[in-house]
Amino acid sequence: MYFTSFHITSIRPWLVSLVLIISCAAYSQDLEPRALSMIPTGGNFAVASYLFSHGNFLVDENIPIEDLKANVHTFVGGYARSFKLFNRLTKVDAIVPYSLGEWNAIVSNIDTSVTKFGFADPMLRISMILIGGPALSIAEYADHKQARFRLGVNFRVRMPLGKYDNTKILNLGANRWAFKTGVGASYRVNKFVFETYIYTWFFTENNEFNSGNVLKQETVLTFQGHVTYIMKRGKWFAVSLGQSGLGETTLNGIPQENKQNTWKFGLAFALPLKNNQALKFALTNGITTRFGANFTTLIIAYQFMWFDKAK
């Protein structure tokens, strides 16, 4: 893979629209505006992110724990690529997170605290724009008129490869597979982009939860809405709102009566830099929570992009 000879400043308006296409914030409710951004094929994106989370935060946030307080630092490396599949614009991305932090919680009426560090579960995603986003080369993209409406789908898998100790409740890895499917739509009016997404998470069983117990979780359903204001020279600012529900867990076949009902609010700002680089700053914060994670996360992400050399 090489840098293209096409001058990057001529396509500056979409330069940072893909910043953090690799979602780094959370697993069941990641607030991610601009997920349906249009880009040329043959694009490569390397992303390095830092996240600081405070509050009721778990790397596998779908296991509610009473009075959990945590300060967690997460470093995420990722890669994304755009290409043509079935004549549609398609993107793949992968992330590998490394976390370190301290958790304090009450488990079985006993105060506990633990410090952990290591790799969390990596994730892989493929997404496709079905309407309003044709697969175009750089040369074709330069003359293309952007569609107002877009419709897309995506599929993500979380692999149980993170650090896990079956004698502990608090872990960096989840020790189970998770699959996320979603559909989203966006509509642009002048400088504003309005987006809505529906996601579902499906989980396999964790047969080694806390010394051999069997943990099972029902489907988690998530809704998101975003309003993005497109500024000059490729900068944009977004306001987001998300809600997660369902997802009741059972332990050894016994329902835990802990269906989720979590609302989150988010802000994001993307800033283009010189030489094919960009920065993104984001904040997510819990509004209301009933059985689910409630925490605040600050995100700083750096992106470097390049295109395949023209044949």
pLDDT in tens, 289-298: 655 566 788 9
Burial of 25 (0-12, 13-18, 19+ CB in 10 A): buried
Residue type for position 277: Q
User: In this predicted structure, what is the pLDDT of residue 187?
Assistant: 96
With 50 as the cut, is the pLDDT of residue 9 above it?
Answer: no
More confident residue, 23 or 124: 124
User: In this predicted structure, what is the pLDDT of residue 5?
Assistant: 30
Least confident of 56-60, 66-70, 114-118: 56-60
> What percentage of the chain carries pLDDT values higher than 70?
82
More confident residue, 41 or 108: 41
pLDDT band at 118 (very low <50, low <70, confident <90, very high): very high
Rounded distance between C-alpha atoms, residue 222 and residue 245, angstroms: 6
User: In this predicted structure, what is the pLDDT of residue 127?
Assistant: 96
Residue type for position 228: T
User: In this predicted structure, what is the pLDDT of residue 22?
Assistant: 43
User: In this predicted structure, what is the pLDDT of residue 14?
Assistant: 43
Options 2.40.160.40, 3.20.20.70, 2.60.40.10, 2.170.120.30; CATH of 8-307: 2.40.160.40
Instruction: Mark out the alpha helices in 121-164 (DSSP H runs).
Output: 138-142
Burial of 276 (0-12, 13-18, 19+ CB in 10 A): middle
Model's pTM, two decimal places? 0.84
Instruction: Mark out the alpha helices in the chain (DSSP H runs).
Output: 138-142
With 80 as the cut, is the pLDDT of residue 94 above it?
Answer: yes
More confident residue, 57 or 142: 142
pLDDT band at 60 (very low <50, low <70, confident <90, very high): low
Cβ contact 22:74 at 8 Å: no
User: In this predicted structure, what is the pLDDT of residue 289?
Assistant: 62
Least confident of 43-57, 105-119, 150-164: 105-119
pLDDT digit string, tens, across residues 187-226: 999 999 999 999 999 999 999 887 888 989 999 999 999 9
pLDDT digit string, tens, across residues 230-287: 997 778 999 999 998 888 888 888 888 878 888 899 999 999 988 789 999 999 987 7
With 50 as the cut, is the pLDDT of residue 16 above it?
Answer: no
Task: Please list, in sequence order, all residues whose beta carbon lies within 8 angstroms of the beta carbon of residue 206, skipping any fewer than 6 positions away.
Answer: 174, 175, 176, 214, 215, 216
Cβ contact 203:27 at 8 Å: no
Cβ contact 137:163 at 8 Å: no
Per the DSSP assignment, residues forming a β-bridge with 123 are 95, 158
Query: What are the boundaries of each domain within the chain?
Result: 8-307
Neighbours of 98 (CB within 10 A): 16
Interval 128-149 mean pLDDT: 88
Query: 231 vs 8, 17, 117, CA distance in Å?
Result: 18, 11, 39
Task: Please list, in sequence order, all residues whose beta carbon lies within 8 angstroms of the beta carbon of residue 279, skipping any fewer than 6 positions away.
Answer: 19, 270, 271, 273, 300, 301, 302, 303
pLDDT band at 7 (very low <50, low <70, confident <90, very high): very low
| Summary mean pLDDT of the chain | 83
Interval 120-126 mean pLDDT: 94
Percentages helix, strand, coil for the chain (3-state, rounded to 5) are 5, 60, 35
